Amino acid sequence: MSDLYERARELDAKDQLAGVRGEFVLGEDVVYLDGNSLGALPANVPGRVDDVVRRQWGELLIRSWTESGWWTAPERIGDLIAPLVGAGGGQVVVGDSTSVNVFKALVGAVRLAGEGRDEILVDAATFPTDGYIAASAARMTGCSVRAVEPGEVRGALSSRTAAVLLNHVDYRSGRLHDLPSLTAAIRAAGAVSVWDLCHSAGALPVGLDAHGVDLAVGCTYKFLNGGPGSPAYLYVRREHQAAFDSPLPGWNSHAEPFGMRSEYEAADGVARGRVGTPDILSMLALEAALEVWSRPDVSVDAVRGKSLALTDFFLECVEAYVPGGRVEVVTPGAHGERGSQVALRCADAGEVMGRLIGAGVVGDFRAPDVLRFGFTPLYLSFADVERAAGVLARELG
């Protein structure tokens, strides 16, 4: 145990991202391993929100739509997220929730696919809301839905397939799916790809443009640290924007939003992914949170490298500390198949996680038997990881 304790200190001393921890509000008595559910508070956000509330809203009032850039925030902040998911500018718009954006993307995907295609494939292990939305989108578009494992997508594709909705990282197990090859297979079959990036954006490279992804959605309150309920985003590949037909044509996506015309005409570009009035307070808190990515020592590649090192070290500590047979590692060991979390199967997982949180190690529990630990490299240290494994061993007896 003392060897791993010392090695954690050595790894922290060499960590190029160690200085970023000070950009976040974190208690010294807590190891926070739940950033894959809700990211920590960036230290600059409270001051920014105070300015938005007191000056921009309180003093400038309605003038802030233009003078403070409120109206252009969805596209401006989208351009900040774009490089984090491997997209060029003008293809990401921020707003609404992930669920709403899944609906827009999936219905839009079926409409892009065209006549004669009447089946939606959806990840069988998807986060529940994606499945619910897929079923609703299918009813609306006259399609059927078929749930398939990501590894079975290639065999399930056919001339009937309109759209395929997949999670980049499985939210329970932390398995990273092969976005490049799956996207290529979907495109070769003439279908439209829709990727859910909730558990990958801000944690690992995505490469939307490079790999030919058609549409993608994601939340911003996990690895992007935008805060509880911060707005989600929608990616529409540039070549599809002119034909993208949103099922929610709100006034904000109108070509002439203040013309108040009774007929709808979609705006040019990714702005047609907007719907109604943007949620400015949370959107501008997100904009402040994203400033950490402008630091010269912060890059997606650096974050991915540390993520893999942290999860490798955690798995090593678990193997060394936890009594044999007490937990089963669910997350794949191969780096190319692992997101930025570690899931451990444990019969009494719910009770164990409650004790862990009481002891200052915050992860989460997924029914029926999974302990889930998220690793956010921007603010986690190797000492945190070693300590968490030690507390886990103690609580497991």
Distance between the two ends of the chain, CA-based, in angstroms? 16
Q: Which residues is 365 bridged to in the sheet?
A: 371
DSSP assignments along 167-229, one per residue: ESB-TTT-BBP-HHHHHHHHHHTT-EEEEE-TTTTTTS---TTTTT--EEEE-SSSTT---TT
Give every CB contact of residue 293 below 8 A, 6+ residues apart in sequence: 80, 83, 84
Closest CA to 219 of 230, 204, 205, 209: 230
Place of tokens 């774009």: 82
What type of residue sits at position 303?
V
Tokens 């945190």: give the residue: 384
Active site positions, annotated:
127, 196, 221-222, 372
Burial class of residue 111, CB neighbours in 10 A (0-12, 13-18, 19+):
middle
Tell the residue number behind the tokens 């944690």, with chain if given. Answer: 203
Do the beta carbons of residue 222 and residue 35 sit within 8 Å? yes
- Identify the CA nearest to 226 among candidates 288, 276, 278, 294: 288
